[in-house]
Amino acid sequence: MKKPSMGNAVRALVRGAAVTGLTVALTVPATAAVAVAPAAAIPPGLSCDTGKHAIDDYTGYALCRNNGSATQVFWVHLVCGWSPDVDGEHVTLRPGESGQSTAHCAGLGTGIGEIHVRP
């Protein structure tokens, strides 16, 4: 029977640590992609609902109503995970009007991570 050398023991230890590190590295992004952060504060004077499209997790929207006394412009901003973030069309609302801005994350990414309403 051959006696294991110190080099073999070190290589086995390094291999085990590498496998553990790789497993953790692959697990963390998968769980992080599932978590969706809450939307940021909505600009004053607007009341908005935000969300993802019912059958397309890559399309997000902001549906807003201008409750203020001045004209306001808003748009939806999507944080798209691995793909570049995107902005929806700019919507101008006079007092009392409602409107919607939509945007679409690239299909190569992980989908929508956050939805913000920007003034």
Q: Note the pLDDT tens digit of each residue in 30-56.
A: 333 334 445 567 888 999 999 999 999
Instruction: Look at residue 8 in the predicted model and tell me its pLDDT.
Output: 57
Residues in the chain with pLDDT values less than 70: 1-40
Instruction: Look at residue 34 in the predicted model and tell me its pLDDT.
Output: 37
| Cβ–Cβ < 8 Å for 83, 36 | no
Q: Using the 8-state DSSP alphabet, how is residue 4 labeled?
A: P
Instruction: Look at residue 19 in the predicted model and tell me its pLDDT.
Output: 44
Instruction: Look at residue 2 in the predicted model and tell me its pLDDT.
Output: 58
List Cβ neighbours of 116 (8 Å cut-off, separation of 6 or more).
39, 40, 50, 76, 77, 78, 79
